[in-house]
Structure 1
Amino acid sequence: MATLARMLSRASGFEIDVETLRPIVIFCGAGLLFALMLLSYGVDLSPGFF
């Protein structure tokens, strides 16, 4: 997480703290999970699908 914060700080030119980045990453991850769940609604994901 610290490496990601340093990389974003260097790329953007703004100082980004790890404690600021953590809730943003969690919120984006939850949104991505929710979007994937919506996309798979009605799709048969049984073992026979794979």
Structure 2
Amino acid sequence: MMAALAKAISRATRTSVDVETVKVLVIFSGAGLLLSLVAAMIYGQPLNAALF
């Protein structure tokens, strides 16, 4: 799966992308998503009340 994703990115950007680079990107993207979800759960209620 990672090899196919790396190959697709390589074809789309026309640069050489190896599997390790894709793994690092996926890990950091997942960590950022998790952090965003936690922040939304903690600060979601006051932010929602302030907007409406």
Q: CA deviation at 1:43?
A: 5.7
Aligned runs of 1:9-48 on 2, under 5 Å?
A: 9-41=10-42
Moved over 4 A (4+): none
Describe the SS at the equivalent of 1:41: helix
Q: CA deviation at 1:19?
A: 1.1
Amino acid of the structure 2 residue aligned with 1:17: D
Q: Write the distance in 1 (CA, Å) between the matches of 2:22 and 2:7.
A: 11
TM-score by length of 2: 0.73
Amino acid of the structure 2 residue aligned with 1:20: T
CA RMSD after TM alignment:
1.6
TM-score by length of 1: 0.75
The structure with the largest helix share of the pair is 2
Q: CA deviation at 1:23?
A: 1.1
Q: Is 1:4 matched with 2:5? A: yes
